[in-house]
Amino acid sequence: MLLSFRFANHRSFRDEHQLNLTPVYGDGASADEPAPQAVQVVGIFGANASGKSNCLGALAFMRQTVVESDRAVEPGLGLHREPFGLDPEFATQPSRYVVDLLLGGVRHTYGFTIDDDRVLEEWLYHYPVGRRRRVFERDGDTFSWGEETGRRNDLEQIAGITAPTALFLSTVARFGHSRPQSDPADPQPLHDTYRWFYLMGQVTDPTPGLSALIRIGQSDADEARRLAVDLLQAADVGVVDVVVLSDPADDHSAWAESSTQGMRARVKKAMAGARRPPVILFAHQGPHGLALLDLQNQSTGTQRLLTLGLHAATMLRTGATMLIDEIDASLHPVLTAKLVSLFRSPQANPLGSQLIFTSHDAALLGTLDGEEILRRDEIWFVEKDDEGASSLYPLTDFKPRKEGENRQRRYLNGNYGAVPNLSTDLFEQALAKPLHFRRPDHRRATR
C-alpha cells in the first residue's frame, strides 16, 4: 500500500512535490473498523499540459527503473531520464524519487537519486517496531548495511556486481536473495519492496488487457472471458458474449449450430487458417439472431471499458496499485464513477488495492446516487506556473464551505485553480483568422 510518493526534477516538475495518500478525515471507517492508513483512490485534475500525466509518469518511471535497471542499460551509456527541460541549470541536476509503503503492516521507505550517468544514492528503511531501521544505504559505490540485515555476506557480494547504472534493489531481486515466503519472524523488506513495484500496473493501450483472455492457462483464460462478459453486459454496450477461438482446429459446433448463417460463416472464416493466433470475437444480438464482430468493430468506449475492467480485476486480486492516465477517455461518467467505486468498496477490494488516476472530467468531483464519487482527501490538482514548472496540491488545502460545497462548479469556476487560463477573444481570433495558402507557380517550376 502506497502511503506517499515524493519526486523532484522530473519532466515539468522542477521542485520536489509529494502525493500524500494519508487520510485527512476519519469518517471513512465504521465504528468497528480502524481508520484506513491510506486512501484507496486518488484523482488528479488539471488543465491540458499542466503536468497531470507527468505526475503519474514519475511513479511509473520509478517502477520501471526498479524492475528493469539491472538489465535495461548498457554499460557506459548512462541512464535515461527526463529532467525539467525549461531550465538548463536543472537539466544537469539529479532527479529524486521516494515512496513510503505499508507492506505486511510495516512501514517501508525506499528511494534513489540519479543523474544522466549513474545512481548517486539509494536507500531502504523499514519500521518494524515503530523506529527506523536501515536495510541498506548506498552512496555511489559505497554500501552500508543495517545491523539486523540478514545474509549480509550475500548482499555484499551482490553489491559488488551492481553496475553504477543499476539499482541495488533490481540487482538483488535478479540474483534471488529475497525469499518469497512470508514469515513475521523473518521479514523480507527487499523482497516485499521489489514485489510492490513489480505488481504495480499502468494502463496504456487495449492489448495488454485483452491479452488476458488468451495468454494464460486455459482455466484462467476462461475466468477472464467470463469476467469480460459480465463487465460488458453490466455496462449495457450491446455485447452478450465473448468468443475466444484459441485453436482454429477446434470444433465450435455449439456456436455454429445455434446461430445464423452469417455468424457461422464468420466462425468458419476465423477457423480457416491452421495455427493462427487466437481470435477474440464479440457476440451482439441482431434482428436475425446473434452476430459476431471482431475487436476493431467495437466502439472505442467498449474497448476502453474492457481494457480497464480486466486490468482492474487483476489489480484487485493481487492488492496492487493501478495507474490510469485520463481515466475518463471514451467512457461515460457513470461508468468511470462505477470503476472508481470498485476500489473504494471493501467487498470488491478486500486486499486494499489502490487506484491513482488523472482526469479532466469535473463530474467526478460531484456525486452519484447521492454519494460522493471522491472524498476531499482523494482529490489533487496540478497547475503550471509562469516559468513552466508544475505544482501538485490537494483539495484539502482549501477549507470546505459551511453551506455546502459544489466541487464540480467551484472547480470549473477556477476556485481551486488548475483550469485553463483561456482568453476567449484570442481563442476566437485564432480560429476565425483565414488561412492563406500560396499556390505553386507552375510556370516558374517548369523554367
| pLDDT of the residue at 310 | 83
| pLDDT of the residue at 249 | 47
- DSSP lists the bridge partners of residue 382 as 46, 392
| pLDDT of the residue at 309 | 86
| pLDDT of the residue at 175 | 82
| pLDDT of the residue at 168 | 95
**CA-derived radius of gyration, the chain:** 26
Question: Is 43:364 a contact under the CB 8 Å cutoff?
Answer: yes
Region of residue 250 (left: phi > 0; alpha: psi -120 to 50; beta: else): beta
- DSSP lists the bridge partners of residue 145 as 136
Q: What is the pTM of this model?
A: 0.84
Nearest to 108, CA basis, from 99, 96, 116, 117: 99
| pLDDT of the residue at 29 | 47
Domain spans in the chain, listed from the N-terminal domain onward: 2-200+320-413, 206-252+272-319
| pLDDT of the residue at 382 | 96
Cα 146 from Cα 135, distance rounded (Å): 5
Report the DSSP pairing between strands 239-245 and 279-286: antiparallel
DSSP, residue by residue, 304-365: HHHHHHHHHHHHHHHT-EEEESSTTTTS-HHHHHHHHHHHH-TTT-TT--EEEEEE--GGGG
| pLDDT of the residue at 86 | 92
DSSP for residue 419: S
What's the average pLDDT block by block, 10 residues per block, for the chain (447 residues)? Answer: 97 96 70 71 94 95 93 76 91 96 94 95 93 94 82 86 93 71 66 94 61 54 77 86 67 50 60 60 86 86 85 88 90 89 90 94 90 94 94 93 82 90 67 65 55
CATH class of 2-200+320-413: alpha beta
Neighbours of 337 (CB within 10 A): 21
DSSP, residue by residue, 48-102: TTSSHHHHHHHHHHHHHHHHHHHHHS-TTS--------S-HHHHTS-EEEEEEEE
Cell of 120: 548517486
Q: Which residues lie closer than 8 Å to 215 by C-beta, 6 or more apart?
A: 221
| pLDDT of the residue at 235 | 85
